[in-house]
Every structure is written in structure tokens, then in C-alpha cells.
Structure 1
Amino acid sequence: MATAYKALRIEKSEGVAEVILTGPGKGNAVGPDFWREMPEVLRELDADASVRVLLLRGDGAHFTYGLDLPAMLESLGPMLTGDNNTAFERTQLMRLIEQMQGATEGLARCHKPVIAAVHGWCIGAGMNLIAASDFRYCSQEAKFSVREVRVGILADLGALQRLPRIIGEGHTRELAYTGGDFDAERALRMGLVNQVFASPEEMLTAARATARKIADNPPLVVQGAKQVLEYCADKSVEDGLRFVAVWNSAFLQSNDLTEAFAAFMERRPPRFQGR
């Protein structure tokens, strides 16, 4: 991906695309550039057949401090404090929120698995981003906060919708109402993260190793598993079984299936092509 972005950096290697938050706000705080660029980046990566897994992480000492409030206020100011805060300004604000939701929704709707690797602070908007990811790793010093309530904002980028599925209603409500900070140990107990590692370096190494394992599997089967899991999240077991039966009836036959059998018989690693 040759495009130069202001708030992101993309590094691709052998089927794994690392989406790296870079700021330019302090602590990778996300401002207007990020909300404009992230949906575009995700559309491109989702359409890129060479990409099989996304790894979302932050540059430097933190995942993200959340919203870059000074930068966002430059965009939001007329919509919030104008003398004529009428339907026009309110419609503008709604469209801006919908644009911002495109970043988190792009993660959630991406056909490829998304791993979030968290170190340092993960605040506000960061919680919305990791909640939209498939699963999460963090390092021991990581700290988290659904911080919006403390700055007079109702979280509107997906955390309130997705966190109950991940950590349960009770934890979500406590975090959303208090805006309190919590550490990696509690994140693990709640089920927000799958594993905690001693250092950011160990965490990133493990996240990359997991991404590599996923990328080595048949990509269309991995993407099928994600589609089935997403469909079944709010369906009955009966509906889910019917859906996966139809899915396999349509997509089971493939060159990768033939390659899997051939590799097994020849006692060699398979080479899956996504065909």
C-alpha cells in the first residue's frame, strides 16, 4: 500500500497487515485524520487478497490515549457551541459521528480476522477499536478505560454495543458509568483480553506468531469461520447449524481442500492459495 497516511502506518508481510496507530496527537490520540483514513485503509486491506490477517497496534509507548480532543474540537466547535445550533448543525454532527463509526465498523465487518495488540494506555476510542476486533492480547503494564463519561460524551463508536458480548453486562455498565481505569489483570479476568504478557515486546512477538498461524491456514476457511461466528452471535443453535451447513455446501469444495489432503498424504506442510 503506497499511500502515505497521517494517522496510520501499514506494514505488510506474508499475508499479515499491521495497522499501526501513529497519532499525530500525543499518545497516538486519534483526530480527524484518523477517522477519515481508517475506513479507507480497512476497505483496501479487506479487498486485498494477499492480506489474510490484520494486526492492530499502537506506535511508541501506548496503544492510544483516545480522542484527540483539541483537534476534534476544531471540527466539532460550530456544531456544539454555535449560536444557531439548529437542525442543520445537528445533522452535521450526526454525519460526523457516522463517519467516525465507519472506523470501528470497518474493523468489525472486515472479512479477515483482526487481532488487537495493546500496550500502555487504551482509552475511550481505543476501547471502541479493540471491542470491534476479533480478539485481544495485552502487556502487563496496559491500562484501559471507557473514559467518555468523564469528558461529557456518550460512547457512540460501538463499545456499548460490543463489550457486553465480550465481558458481560455488569462489567460493561460499571466501566461505562464510572469511566474508571482498570489494569491488565482485571482485563484478563473479565475476558477482555485472551492473554497478558510480561512486556510489550513479548506481547507483540506473540501477537505476530498468532497472526502467522492464522495466515498459514486456508484464508477462505478462516474468513468463513468468522462469518459463521458473526451470524450465530444472536441466533439459535438451530439457525446457526443451518447456516454453516449451507455455507459448507457452497464453499467446502476448493483447491485448498485438495491441497490439504495432498499435503497430509505426502507428509508435508500445506501451501494454501485461497482458491
Structure 2
Amino acid sequence: MSEQRITYTIKNGIADVRMVRTDKMNALDNAMIDALIDTAAELENHPEVRVVVLSGEGRAFCAGLDTSNFKRTAEGNGGSATVKHGGGLADRTHGIANRAQQIVWGWRNLHAPVIAAVHGIAFGGGFQLTLGADIRFMHPETKLSIMEAKWGLIPDMGGTPVMRAIASEDILRELSYTARIFSGEQAKEYGFATHVSESPYDDAMVLAREIAERSPSSVKRSKKMFNALFDATDAEALLTESVLQDEIIGKPNQVEAVKAGMEKRVGNFSDTSD
């Protein structure tokens, strides 16, 4: 990669992940797409990561797909920054997802919860990237848009399964048909923002520290349980609860959680104990 697109540090169980293509408002070019996919994959191999804070440096969280890609389309040169393997978008290259969708699903399926700190702009693929997070802090003046209709496209970068679970169908249809820009305040009203904050990064880090103090075995299973709820029947959801609870109940981290709670102290948990 000729230019760095993402940096991250891991400290006290928190992975602080930042998009750093500040001159382009962290727009999604090939290198940024690769960096988002690769970083999520790298963090999956770090059991000491208990929670992730994902943010963008500079003026924006992520401005969406790099407009140079659309310029090539307008000039008749075709090409897509979201396809790299020579096939079509329907080809599954990352499990159930294609390459573009993996920028959302890589974070969605990460073992640790992901908190997005969103400010400035989150358009198109940048908006969908926020949906890869478990929790979203947004500045009230953030400008967001399901912008694909502006370019004659539909939202296709992995966010639609999450959208359907957190926003009403009529809102999704309106925003997708019009590409209307809406604010962080409206995002909270629609269901896209968990919290509206004047300091989204700072508040995301406060919550991250709180999560990092909990048993990683418990938090990991909770995320896995909620991810499985999307298409689950009631019977499947109830069974999932039981199976995941069996994996941790009575194990060292669960016992330590009980002791820490009773002794009113921070737990001393193992990141490698399931």
C-alpha cells in the first residue's frame, strides 16, 4: 500500500482504529477498502482486543466511494473500486459477502464489539460503514446520506441487512429513493444513531473503557448472540441463548465476574479463556 489509510493502537483491551486519508475525507478507494478489510481481519487475531473504536481523522468520518470511480464511469471507462477479482458483484469472495460488503461485515462479525465515532460526513459507503458497528455515536451536525441514488445505484456495500433491523421500512425507502442528506440528530430519530454527542470520539472511548472492564467471554458471546438474531426464529434464538451460555457459565471468567461484582472491584479477566 503506497499511502497509509488506517492506523490502530491496542491499549487496555481497546483497539483505537482511525481512517487517516484526511486529504480525501477518508473516501473509499481501493487502498481504503483493502485497509478496512485487512484491519478487521488482523484484529480478529488479537484476543486481547475487547472492544474497538472506529473513527475518521480530519473533517469527516468517511465521504463514501471515491468520486474518481464515478468519473471513469461517466467517461465510459467502466471499472469499479468495489470489485477487484475480475468477476461480478454477485460473486461471494468473503464468506457470505463480496469485497465491498466485507467493509461492513468484517466489523460486524469481529469477535469484539465495535463503536463508531461519526462526525463531519458519512455518505454512501461511508454511511454503510457506520452500520458495521455495534454502537454509533454521532455528532448532531454530521451529514449522512444513503447517497447511491445520486449516482444511479442502489446501496450495496453490506449495510442493508442492518438497516432493516434498526430503521422503519418507509424511512429506508425514502432515503434510498432520494439520496436526501440528513443530520446526526435525524439519524437518532430514524434509528441509525445510538447516541448523539458533541464529542463522539471521547464518548465512544468512555463506553469502550466500560465494556473493556467486563468479561470478554461474556461480551463476545453477547455479540455473537445478537448477530444471530437477524434471521432467527424464536426457537432458534432461544436455543442460541442456551448454547452460548453453556459455553461460559462456570468457566474462569464467569466466576471472576461474580467475585469482582461481590467484592466491588474491576475483574481480572483472561483474554484467552473462553
TM-score relative to the length of structure 1:
0.86
Work out whether residues 22 and 59 of structure 2, in 8 Å CA contact, stay in contact via their aligned partners in 1. Answer: no
Q: How does 1:175-254 map to 2 (within 5 A)?
A: 175-197=175-197, 199=198, 202-254=199-251
Change in Cα spacing, 1:254 to 1:66, as seen in structure 2 (3 Å) is same
Residue equivalent to 1:91: 87
SS of match in other structure, 2:28: coil
Q: How many residues align?
A: 263
Distance in 2 separating the partners of 1:157 and 1:185: 24
The residue correspondences of 1:73-222 to structure 2 (distance < 5 A) are: 80=78, 91=87, 98-197=98-197, 199=198, 202-222=199-219
Structure having the larger proportion of residues in helix: 1
Larger of the two Rg values belongs to structure? 1
| Secondary structure in 2 matching 1:68 | coil
* 1:73 to 1:38, Cα distance in 2 relative to 1, 3 A: farther
Instruction: Report if aligned partners of 1:79, 1:90 keep a CA contact under 8 Å in 2.
Output: no
- How far did 1:231 drift? 1.3
In 1: Cα distance, 2:76 partner to 2:9 partner: 37
Instruction: Return the offset for 1:130.
Output: 0.8
Q: Which residue in 2 is equivalent to 1:31?
A: 29
Render the CA deviation track for 1:96-120: whole Å, top value 9, x for unaligned.
9922222222111111111111111
1:74 & 1:269 partners in 2: Cα distance?
55
Q: Secondary structure of the residue that 2:182 maps to in structure 1?
A: strand
What fraction of aligned residue pairs are identical, expressed as a percent? 27
1:52 counterpart letter in structure 2 = R
Is the contact made by 1:6 and 1:24 (CA closer than 8 Å) also made in structure 2?
no
Which residue of the other structure, out of 60, 64, 67, is the alignment partner of 1:66? 64
Q: Which runs of 5+ in 2 are unaligned?
A: 80-84
